[in-house]
Copies of this chain bind each other. A is one copy, B any other.
Amino acid sequence: MTVRVRIVTPITTQGFRRPEEVKALGGADITVDCVEVDAGPASIECAFEVALAAPGTIAKVIDAEKHGIDAVVIDCMADPGLVGAREAVAIPVLGAGQTAMHVAAMLGHRFSVVTVLKRLRSQFEQAAATFGLGGKLASVRAIGIPVLDLERDLPATERALVAEAERAVLDDGADTIVFGCTGIMGCAAAVREGLLRRGVDIPVVDPIPTAVSMAAAIARARLSQSKTAYPAPPDKSVVGYTQIGIGIELPTAAE
């Protein structure tokens, strides 16, 4: 049985994910594709943008289920719309943030998140605490490069990741690293190599490949989020979201 996993990228910057890198996340019996949202911010770097990304993300998750997708991964460490999307569908929906942090917690004693901007620190601290992993989070460190600039000078981005990861290990007591932005995807091997050259031997968790593997495994095991934990939303009028596909079937929807 082949499992179909869809990545929902909750931003509106066209071409953020290259088709070939998405396809390469699949395997012998997993196919992976990717969609972006129709409404939302160009990138996600604060709670304001998380809030604007959530409705479009949920719309794309609903759409994925309608088209026979087996599992969805939300492509942002802030997990925008995760809980609402889990309510809205029956297929498993995984957040890159929640999944990567749980996996990191299994690989060591304390992990650090290395992210783009310092302002995201408290967001990761609260997310970790909500997942029960507050005590496993050694630190949140930032490289000071905005999401949309990460690939502008990739070697510089990788050097900054290595430098902050090393400080996380030496200064903060981390023994595992999680990338704190899915835009960094693909650098894990290079960062791990860079750290090894400095004598630091730790796993580097790349959230999207990790979450795709987990999503496929969960779907294959015929598991999904608990519908007792995430029951379907009540049938109710919603105003203003028909353009992105929410509310379109509700008789009283208006705009």
How far, in angstroms, from A109 to B229 measured CA to CA in the complex? 6
Chain B nearest CB, measured from A104 CB (Å): 9
A105-B132, A132-B132 as given contacts; A175 in contact with B81, CB under 8 Å:
no
Which A residues fall within an 8 A CB radius of B?
A: 12, 27-29, 38-43, 45-52, 54-56, 58, 81, 83-88, 92, 94, 98-99, 102-103, 105-110, 119, 121-122, 125-126, 129-136, 146, 169, 173, 175-176, 189, 200-203, 205-206, 209-210, 213-214, 217-218, 220-231, 233-234, 236-241, 243-244, 246, 252, 255
Instruction: Report 27 cross-chain contacts, Cβ distance below 8 Å, ordered by A residue.
Output: A29-B29, A39-B241, A43-B236, A45-B234, A46-B84, A46-B231, A49-B84, A49-B236, A51-B51, A51-B54, A51-B83, A52-B238, A56-B240, A102-B105, A107-B224, A107-B226, A107-B229, A110-B122, A126-B130, A132-B132, A132-B136, A175-B229, A176-B229, A201-B228, A202-B226, A202-B229, A243-B255
